[in-house]
Amino acid sequence: MTARTAPAKPLRVRPSGTARRPWKYRTPLIALADLVVFVALWHVAVVELELVNRVFFPSPGDVAGSLATLISSGELAGHLGTSARSWLIGYGLGAAAGVVTGLATGSLPWANRLLMPLLWSLWATPLIALQPTLTAWLDYGDGPIVVLVFLSTMIPVALNTATGAAQTSPSLIRAARVFGAGRMAVYLKIRLPWAVPYVIGGLRLAVPTSMIGLLVGEMVGSPSGVGSIIVNATARFRTGEAFAAIGVYVVLSVVLVRLLDLAERRAGGWRNHA
């Protein structure tokens, strides 16, 4: 707020805690208005003004129609099932492997020295470049996709968990020791719960990266999955269908990130009281 006041005027400094609270529904309403304006402009540009060729760029109505067809024909359900299975297997295994690696890396100094640099460098790497090699190794289909999703989930989860485990309050660990906790109990009852918010943060970071892995795998080397709808529909100039499939991915990604945001907020609270 202070940034807006001109220097000539007296400084307006609110005492802390008295900042003007915006109306509760302001943000969702503006977002909704955004969406309506966006769709309206899109419709007018394509249908009324005919700024683009509708074969190449569908109108919102075309996309909705294609989505309805994809749903009613059962095509979407089939592809979505394939995508969901690949993603869940890869993401689940990746999360589990990431938590274990992260806990070890964060709490054992030698594992930290050995693994952290490798994990960091893999995090910087475009893992999807492995896709063609994975396809050569595992054949077309779900195999390379699951591996890509696994890798792109495991690395951020491991890095975040390691950060959390390394920052575990030493006094909590000492207290547990005093009460007779063994090594395993310290892991399970102190380090793991302490790292939970970090794990969730890593899972959240892994949503976009795992989605990229899933999509690239499906677009480049798979006959099924929502990503393959995008490629096949585009090749047949059915852009409405491609947009509908992209829309499905957009909704999925946004919902997943939101869910994990919510979980992060829930899980993080207790640490402030510890």
Question: Rule CB under 8 A: which residues touch other proteins?
Answer: 2-3, 5-7, 11, 13, 26-27, 30-31, 34-35, 38, 56-57, 113-114, 117-118, 121, 123-126, 128-133, 135-137, 156, 159-160, 163, 201-202, 205, 207-208, 211-212, 215-216, 219-220, 227, 230-231, 234-235, 237, 239, 242-243, 245-246, 249-250, 253-254, 257
**Residue with smaller CB distance to other proteins, 69 or 112:** 112
CB of 57 to other proteins, least distance (A): 8
CB of 225 to other proteins, least distance (A): 12
CB of 181 to other proteins, least distance (A): 29
Q: What is the DSSP string of 211-261?
A: HHHHHHHHHHH-SSSHHHHHHHHHHTT-HHHHHHHHHHHHHHHHHHHHHHH
CA torsion through residues 98, 212, 130, 86, sign: positive
**Residue with smaller CB distance to other proteins, 186 or 216:** 216
CA torsion through residues 101, 266, 207, 142, sign: positive
CB of 96 to other proteins, least distance (A): 19
**Residue with smaller CB distance to other proteins, 110 or 179:** 110
Report yes or no: 157 and 98 within 8 Å, Cβ to Cβ. Answer: yes
CA torsion through residues 135, 138, 139, 145, sign: negative
Q: How many of the other CB atoms lie within 10 Å of CB of 33?
A: 10
Report yes or no: 96 and 89 within 8 Å, Cβ to Cβ. Answer: no
**Residue with smaller CB distance to other proteins, 124 or 274:** 124
**Residue with smaller CB distance to other proteins, 46 or 186:** 46
CB of 136 to other proteins, least distance (A): 5
In Å, how far are 158, 173, 176, 217, 265 from 189, measured between CA atoms?
Answer: 19, 10, 9, 38, 20
**Residue with smaller CB distance to other proteins, 133 or 169:** 133
CB of 122 to other proteins, least distance (A): 8
**Residue with smaller CB distance to other proteins, 151 or 186:** 151
The alpha carbons of the chain give a radius of gyration, in whole angstroms, of 24
Report yes or no: 253 and 167 within 8 Å, Cβ to Cβ. Answer: no
Q: Tell me the C-alpha distance between 101 and 96, whole Å.
A: 9
CB of 226 to other proteins, least distance (A): 9
